[in-house]
Structure 1
């Protein structure tokens, strides 16, 4: 018995048959495993490995699919991945082309929410010090929401009922579906540029987590955080909370509550003004009564009962002070005159003229530089023969010329 000749295949044919066999049997496979070696390429594609305790499977998420994922892919994450298994003939390798990726144990949107919350919290976007106060009396309010929704009608009714003086402007945006997040972010930026807008409300009515998801997108959160105008966020119902709520300057449980938070109740303001007006009138009346009592008390004093008595009393005091002043002046003048006479006598006693009366004389000579000036002669060394001398005696002056000088007494 002869054996049949074996079929010899080329590498290309072998891999082609393997490719056909594998791809025919796994047109869309669901695989559970742990992510490892996760790499984001510059092209936007994500390359990773799915593994369990005894095997590994290479996988890829193309850019278009990766951009639609709501959560961040991380090593160690348990997931269910779905997509076709493809064989790459040129290398003889196969991989799972992931078209769906579902986290194990928690929903994809819930995981994405947690990851975004942790990321923005770490950057400080939720910190209280960044919150701006909501104006108490807004001039213009911008509503960034769907123009046809029940939420916008509720907000318009509440605001116009509570605070008629506020101007309202609607910035129409899509609040769900593809591109909604980008529209909301752009709407917030546009509202901030509208003149005189001092409050912005963004939000929508209730819905599923998927319906509300635009308000959990990072682009909306960063637009709210960067907005120079205070933002009130109102997304869904009381049980719903969004990333926008956490970033906003004020969170409202519903759109209607956001409208209430944005404006005061006009009747409350009127009541407050009336209260303060009445309080002011009461205070003024009370002060007027106190002033009248003080005036009556002052008017009842003796000085005001008989005002001329005080005038006479003050006049008598002035007269007494005048007498004291005159007496003091006379005493001072007398003391001054006495002291002056004493000083004059002492000065006269020291006068050279007194010496002349006792028979003495004073001799002066003319100076060479200034003949009109006379110099007192105290020694014969000061004079010489021929000089002119002036001798002062008690009753006159003797002018003489030196004929001879004799030393000694």
Structure 2
């Protein structure tokens, strides 16, 4: 299991020291309390509505087989004021997603929904709608993803945080440095607990580590790329390449273990100061040593990811890749020796590397995110006011037509 391959990953604790000069060192791996200042969101123009009345209007509209406006569902979500009402909003979000206007769910409504879930202790609802995004239309932006990941991290629910990161990976939303750092931290923290992972979880973790790591050209990023490629290579060796890329934004061509070795080669010949974590190297070594076909019992077990999908299972390309294992093992030993001689192996583990990255870069990333958020909220508010004005004009035209 992946757990046994990651036992060297070091748990990281926040450490701080103070002195009379007020200088201090603090490990910071979570977003600050002021991140995405709630005042920015709350300063929008208030648009109070009665939820019961909005629900009645939507129910009547659906009964008549007419579309509910995006403004109506936005008002419902914006006026939620309790956990019970969060549940009601979930129902109407589902109804809206399955209506003719489903493509018009506004970005600010999605952000507002997750804000309400976090505010009223309904994080389970947030995760449920995120995991079933197609059914609810929940495709949040990077900033909203950050709030969700951070919420799980602060409660030390690292599995929950990793589940959110999986959705970030599936939606390919690693655009912001803050999202990349938070995601890598969540994954490293979860793996440090040595969880027992199914092969599907290994695939998701591997894909998230690889894609997020590709955005960071440093020791943490390269180590994540190595570990991610190793986990994906493990799935490829046991299940075949078709099982790897199924529903994943990954390269379809075989050779994830070769790509892991390429990371090692790049570090050997690349910028001085970039290192690979020992636990990631140990993981790759274990995969190369233990890779083999999946057992017969596991192979016949029902699997929602691959059952009934043509092309899953091993084929000639997979067999050719398996035959390269001795070559890969030899290359690994040569590259490991070279990395050691160059002093480019970090014994602290992936978690320590990502923690150091957060210490160095997360503060700057937060500042950039704050500016981006203020701009987004302003644009959202302008769009909302435009819809309100359009609705008002439409009602006036209807009233004039009725009177005439």
Q: TM over 0.5: same fold?
A: no
Q: Flag the structure with higher strand content.
A: 1
TM-score, normalising length from structure 1? 0.17
Which one has more relative contact order, counting CA pairs under 8 Å at least 6 apart?
2
TM-score, normalising length from structure 2? 0.17
